[in-house]
Amino acid sequence: MNISDYIQIALYLGVLVALTPPLGKFIKKVANVETTFLSRFLLPVENLIYRFTGIDPAQEMTWKTFMIAAIFFKLASFVLLFLILLAQGFLPLNPQGLPGVPVWLAFNTAVSFMTNTNWQAYAGETTLSYFSQMVGLTVQNFVSAAGGIAILFALIRGLVRHSATTLGNFWADLVRVTLYVLVPLCFVWAVLLAGQGVVQTFSSYATATTVQGQQQVIPVGPAASQIAIKQLGTNGGGFFNANSTHPFENPTPFSNFLEMIALLLIPFALTYTYGLMVGSKRQGWSIFAAMMILYVAALGVSLSAEYQYNPVMHVAGSMEGKETRFGVTNSIIWSTSTTVTSNGSVNSMHESLSPLAGGIAMFNMQLGEVVFGGVGCGMYGMLMFVILTVFIAGLMVGRTPEYLGKKIEAFEIKMAVIAVLAPSIAVLIGTAISSVIPAGLSSLENAGPHGFSEILYAFSSAAGNNGSAFAGLNANTDYYNILLGITMLIGRFAPMIPVLAIAGSIVKKKTIPPSPGTFPTDGILFSVLLIGVIIIVGALTFFPALSLGPIIEHFLMLSGRAL
């Protein structure tokens, strides 16, 4: 690494930190239905949506009603997208005449985008029409991201209200987040990306003549608009198969910087939103500090591993699988950022990372992607760890654990444990089954620990609703389309339902004034304890699996062996 690499890392994190308070404050106003500078233009549109859909935004919901509304919306989204994919050949905006998507691939893709995973077992430019990309996938990119933030709002209301029964209105939260936060940000980002050369057109694919005189088809399409929301909504589904390694998705260093900023922009801001909504900025910054320390640690280990001399390839800072216009540092910033969030977009091939850097990418997802995490879901996932940390701290001092003046009792702990461990169980069971049966092994590109890493990465990505892949596994088989689809459902709903149950339980409780025995949760000590709980839970759960994949592969590399 040279001085320019360090400057870029500092500039990247500096811009994100600088944007955190203003965007976080704006999102808080959206959550609390306060007037914003966009209200003059968007309030009539918002009211029109309510009238057209019959939504009463003032009608609050209990946690069960909120949950039913969220699940119903997810189910309707799945059915609509599934039908669009199946009927693609008969729908408009299909200049290439692409046929309908095979049923199990359509199932996998519909589940993927409905759960904000955006796992892609297909090549977008050869499989999906413009209609499917825009009306199918891009719409889900917006509403699945907004749904995650709506769940977070419900949990925060549960923490700050007392002796209440309701958590807000899911439909109103969904509309407001989409209309006031995601659409304006995506409009700005799409214009900036298009200005850098990201394609945005409805024309048919272009045909060019190569220097050898051969004809080459060059895919184009309405990409810039989808790239904006795939990054800002921590979705990750690329318009093209190569995702943001493709020059039409990510043509310049500045477009790369814009897309990396978008990866973490809203997750950073939501920590500030949280502090404002609970009435203590220190609470938000305490969680932010824990997330930032974990992020910087993951980034540092990955950079160190990638720049380390590789005895197998006889080079330090290998460019295999990376774009020369971005280089090693940009690739590692992206791989770390996309796996700590539930984004999954890539600007390099993760399978080509050094074993430890690839292992860190896996571990980021296996922690539940709570290090900033996906929009909404990352923050509410982190709050599950906060509840567990408060419980452990309460046991240490011999007091009933409290958080924000609310007693944390057996029900909240049980629900938090389910939310944290259910996706992990899905990862380990899916990986174990796929590592021993022919259907799981038949589409592996590599044997040994690297082949195992390909399977482990796929299930970690699916359960974490990430969507990135190790690339060496052909997941477009009926077996993987079905099993990974089920894993994505577990990864989304197994945490979401307990989170709402906790919100419904805790909103009914009275707020207890702090006493001399209250353990403070807004300082550096709590941040350190929170980091310890996250790492210990992750290590205890996944270290045996990681030792069979990237860890043993690292030691093989040090001995000069690939297998």
* pLDDT at residue number 461: 94
Among 70-74, 417-421, 539-543, which is the least confidently predicted range? 539-543
* pLDDT at position 316: 87
Mean pLDDT, range 4-8, rounded to an integer: 93
Considering the chain, what percentage of its residues have pLDDT values greater than 70? 100
Report how far residue 191's alpha carbon sits from residue 203's, in angstroms, rounded to the nearest whole number: 18
- Distance from C-alpha of 169 to C-alpha of 153, rounded to nearest angstrom: 10
Q: State how far Cα 11 lies from the chain centre.
A: 23
pLDDT at 398: 74
Tell me the one-letter amino acid at 264: L
CB 494 within 8 A of CB 422: yes
Distance CA 465, CA 422 (A): 13
Q: Report the run of H or E that residue 396 belongs to, with start and end.
A: helix 377-397
When the pLDDT of each residue in the chain is averaged and rounded to a whole number, the result is 93
Angle, CA 114 vertex, CA 112 and CA 117 arms, to 5°: 40
Structure tokens at 471: 């690339």
Q: Residue 35: pLDDT above 80?
A: yes
Q: How confident is the model at residue 387 (pLDDT cuts 50, 70, 90)?
A: very high
For position 514, what pLDDT does the model report?
80
Q: What is the pLDDT of residue 394?
A: 84
Q: How far apart are CA 543 and CA 55, in angstroms?
A: 48
pLDDT of 516 over the 80 cut: no
In 3D space, the residue among 400, 408, 409 whose CA is nearest the CA of residue 518 turns out to be 400
Predicted TM-score (pTM) of the model is 0.95
Report pLDDT for 15: 97
Q: How far apart are CA 237 and CA 530, in angstroms?
A: 31
Q: Is the pLDDT of residue 512 over 90?
A: no
Query: Is 302 within 8 Å of 332 (Cβ atoms)?
Result: yes
302 closest CA partner among 554, 37, 32: 554
pLDDT digits (tens, 9 = 90+) for 388-430: 999 998 887 777 788 999 999 999 999 999 999 999 999 999 9
What residues does 217 pair with on adjacent strands? 207
**Nearest partner of 64 among 154, 147, 143, 148, judged by Cα:** 154
Cα separation, 485 vs 426, in Å, equals 11
Interval 423-476: pLDDT, tens: 999 999 999 999 999 999 998 888 889 999 999 999 999 999 999 988 788 999
- Region of 318 please: left (phi>0), alpha (psi -120 to 50) or beta: beta
pLDDT of 419: 95
pLDDT, tens digit, for every residue of 117-127?
A: 999 999 888 99
- Sort strands 315-316 and 309-310 into parallel, antiparallel or unpaired: antiparallel
Rounded to the nearest 10 degrees, how much is the dihedral formed by the CA atoms of 161, 162, 167, 173? -10
Q: Which residue has the tokens 């390694």?
A: 245
DSSP state for residue 90 in the 8-state scheme: G
Mean pLDDT of 214-239: 91
Tell me the C-alpha distance between 70 and 86, whole Å.
24
Report yes or no: 462 and 491 within 8 Å, Cβ to Cβ: yes
Residue 518 banded pLDDT, cuts 50, 70, 90:
confident
Distance CA 369, CA 341 (A): 5
Residue with tokens 């654990």: 401
- Cα distances (angstroms) measured from residue 311 to each of 2, 58, 300, 454, 560: 22, 64, 21, 22, 5
Q: Is the pLDDT assigned to residue 562 strictly greater than 80?
A: no
How far is the CA of 134 from the CAs of 94, 98, 154, 202, 224, in angstroms? Answer: 11, 15, 29, 11, 11
Count CB atoms within 10 A of the CB of residue 130.
23
pLDDT at position 284 is: 95
Number of Cβ within 10 Å of residue 319's Cβ equals 14
- The H-or-E segment that residue 39 falls in is helix 39-53
- In the prediction, which pLDDT does 278 show? 95
Q: What is the DSSP letter of 163?
A: S
pLDDT at 210: 86
Residues 6+ positions from 131 with CB-CB distance below 8 Å: 84, 88, 91, 92, 93, 94
> Do the Cβ atoms of 534 and 294 come closer than 8 Å?
yes
Instruction: Please tell me the chain's helix, strand, coil percentages from 3-state DSSP, rounded to the nearest 5.
Output: 65, 5, 30
DSSP H/E element including 191: helix 183-195
- Compute the distance between CA of residue 427 and CA of residue 434 in angstroms, rounded to an integer: 11
For the chain, the structural domain boundaries read 22-208+216-266
Tell me, what's the pLDDT at 313? 83
Q: Is pLDDT of 361 > 90?
A: yes
pLDDT at 172: 97
Q: What is d(CA 282, CA 319) in angstroms, rounded to the nearest whole number? A: 42
* Alpha carbon distance 488, 423 (integer Å): 9
* pLDDT single digits (tens) 267-319: 999 999 999 999 999 999 999 999 999 999 999 999 999 999 888 888 888 89
